[in-house]
Amino acid sequence: MSQYSDLLYEVSNNVATITLNRPDRLNAITGPMLDSFSQALRDADRDPAARVIIITGAGRGFCAGLDLKDQMAGTGIGSNNGTDLSVQKFDLANSPPVVLHTTDKPVICALNGPAAGYGMDLALGCDIRIASRQAKLAAVFTKRGVLPESGGSWLLPRLIGWAKAAEVAFRGQVLGAEESLALGLVNQVVEHDHLLPAANEMAAEIAANAPLAVQATKRMMRLGLEETFEANVHHVFLQLLPLFRTKDFAEGVKAFIEKREPQFTGR
Helices 211-224 + 229-244 axis angle, to 10:
170
pLDDT for position 90: 56
Does the pLDDT at position 193 exceed 90?
yes
Average pLDDT over residues 212-230: 96
Average pLDDT over residues 114-137: 97
Does the pLDDT at position 85 exceed 50?
no
Q: How far is CA 57 from CA 54, 143, 203, in A?
A: 10, 24, 17
Residues of the chain with CATH 1.10.12: 211-257
Average pLDDT over residues 207-234: 96
Does the pLDDT at position 76 exceed 70?
no
Four-way CATH pick for 7-207: 1.10.10.10, 3.40.1080.10, 2.20.25.570, 3.90.226.10: 3.90.226.10
Task: Assign 3-class secondary structure to 22-57.
Answer: CHHHCCCECHHHHHHHHHHHHHHHHCCCCCEEEEEE
How does pLDDT run across 9-20, given as a tens digit for each residue?
Answer: 999 999 999 999
Q: How far is CA 55 from CA 21, 150, 163, 191, in A?
A: 11, 16, 29, 18
Quote the longest CA-to-CA distance of the chain.
Answer: 68
Average pLDDT over residues 224-243: 95
Q: Binning pLDDT at 50, 70 and 90, where does residue 242 land?
A: very high
Residues of the chain with CATH 3.90.226.10: 7-207
Task: Yes or no: say if 59 and 214 are a contact pair by the CB < 8 Å rule.
Answer: no
Angle at 1 between CA 95 and CA 21, to 5 degrees: 50
Does the pLDDT at position 117 exceed 50?
yes
More confident residue, 144 or 215: 215
Does the pLDDT at position 77 exceed 80?
no
Q: Are strands 174-176 and 136-138 parallel, antiparallel or unpaired?
A: antiparallel
pLDDT for position 92: 83
Does the pLDDT at position 82 exceed 50?
no
Task: Yes or no: say if 38 and 95 are a contact pair by the CB < 8 Å rule.
Answer: yes
Fold classification of 211-257 is Lyase 2-enoyl-coa Hydratase; Chain  A, domain 2 (1.10.12)
Short-list 156, 154, 131, 152, CA closest to 141: 152
Average pLDDT over residues 182-204: 98
Q: Can you tell me the distance from the alpha carbon of 60 to that of 86, in angstroms, rounded to the nearest whole number?
A: 38
pLDDT for position 1: 41
